[in-house]
Structure 1
Amino acid sequence: MGVVTVSASFGAGGAEIAPAVAERLGLPFHDRVIPAQVAARLGVPLPEAEANDETVTRGLWRLVTSLGTMPDPVGGVLPTSTLPDERAYRVQTERVLAEIAAGPGGVVLGRAAAMVLRDRPDVLHVRLDGPRDRRLAAAAASTGRPEAELRREQEAADAARMAYVRHFYRCDPAETRHYHLVADSTVLPRDVVVELVVIAARARGIGAF
């Protein structure tokens, strides 16, 4: 079956393009299921696993742990001394990604999957990007929210993804050398980008046939 990893900067349409690619290829789309599996394995509430995900700034972890306690999924609170650290979340995320690649395959959005699965031959790595202003305009058009309101979210999201990959994998997620296909999804129609990714994936033998 194989895997398509999709790395997308804010406003590049990853949340729409990645599931569309999965549907076209007949593969499962892996997004929220990954932090859910990580939370189950570490025995922590889902929000805490999501707080350590690539899409959230690492500073949030320090904020949460500085509070001293957090909700227990079955009631009460958990002392932070019993909680896994950032490395534990990263290790479990890598294990989930490896199991996806070795098992049913699928399309994975984010999670630094291009770095985790970079040595596998049955994977297509895709980067969706574009100039900052055009990504901001695209986000405003798709959400109906003003650009001024979204600008801070864009800066935080882009910085968070950059920090996550640099911290754990010592590389820049925007460098084209990490990907087989890089597309400016701010100038190409989304359906065209989906088609390009699907063609590239099938050329590598990925998908349900």
Structure 2
Amino acid sequence: MRVVTISATFGTGGSVIGPAVAERLGVPFVDRAIPSAVAEELGVSLEEALAYDDRGESGLGRLLVGMLRLPNAAFGAAELGMLSGVPLSPEEFTMRTERMMRETARRSGGVFLGRAGAVVLADHPGALHVRLDGPLRRRVLQTAAFSGIPEREARRIVVANDRARAAYVRQFYRVNPADPQLYHMILDSTVIPVPICVELILTAANALG
């Protein structure tokens, strides 16, 4: 069964490319299913589980929990308020997430978006690890065009998400998510059209598989 992990900086179309690759490979696209399964296992609401998940395009409470332990991390009162009242520990949620990912990969295969998949599934036989990235300027423009928001707001969202997602990986896995050694393939999906990115990933996945 095919396994592909995709690490995507904000504005690179991971949520579009991932499902397309999964459909072509005939495997699940594993994104929201992970926090849902963890929430069910822990007996908490999906909203509470998402407070620790590294995926999502609104709100950073789920990532700032981990960032609180990082040196030189500064947060405003509004950001800190997002963290109050959440009963889970970041370590517990991360451990459960890793287990769910490994079980899913073993049982059905899948295309895994985010959650340090290239690290968690580094030893899975035949897994392909992909990084989607691109220059900040182009990612901001893509976000603004896709969301219909002003460029200034798009830049704020892209920078905040980049910072938080990178902090999540550094905090729990002690690696830089931009390290090319983690991946078999790095694509600039701000210039390579989505259908071509999908075909390139499929070709590589089939070669490894």
Give the TM bin, normalised by the shorter chain.
Answer: 0.7 to 0.9
Check 1:190–1:65 CA distance in 2 against 1; reply closer, same or farther (3 A cut). Answer: closer
1:195 aligns with 2:205: no
Unaligned runs of 5+ in 1: 70-79
In the other structure, the counterpart of 2:3 is 3
Give the SS at the match of 1:134: helix
Q: Which residue of 1 aligns with 2:26?
A: 26
Equivalent pair of 2:21/2:202 in contact (CA under 8 Å): yes
- Return the alpha-carbon distance in structure 2 between the equivalents of residues 177 and 168 of structure 1: 18
Match of 2:119 in 1: 115
Give the whole-Å Cα distance in 1 for the aligned partners of 2:206 and 2:113: 18
Partner amino acid for 1:59? Answer: L
Residue 59 of structure 1 deviates from its aligned partner by 2.3
Q: CA RMSD for the aligned pairs?
A: 1.7
Structure 1 residue 66 displacement after superposition? 6.1
Q: Post-superposition shift, 1:45? A: 1.0
Who is 2:157 aligned against? 153
CA-CA distance at 1:119 after TM superposition = 1.4
1:44 corresponds to 2:49:
no
Q: TM-score normalized by structure 2?
A: 0.87
Q: Which residue matches 2:53?
A: 53
Q: For the pair shown, which has the larger CA radius of gyration, 1 or 2?
A: 1
The code of the aligned residue for 1:161 comes to R
Distance in 2 separating the partners of 1:65 and 1:144? 26
Corresponding residue for 1:183? 187
Q: Deviations over 1:162-202 (max 9, x none)?
A: 00000000010011110001000011111100000011011
Flag structure 2 segments of 5+ consecutive residues without an equivalent. Answer: 69-79
Task: Name 2:14's counterpart in structure 1.
Answer: 14
C-alpha change, 1:66 and 1:196, in structure 2 (3 Å) is closer
State the identity %.
Answer: 51
- Deviation per CA, 1:16-46: give whole Å up to 9, x if none: 0000111111111111111001111111111
Distance in 1 between residues matched to 2:125 and 2:81, nearest whole Å = 38
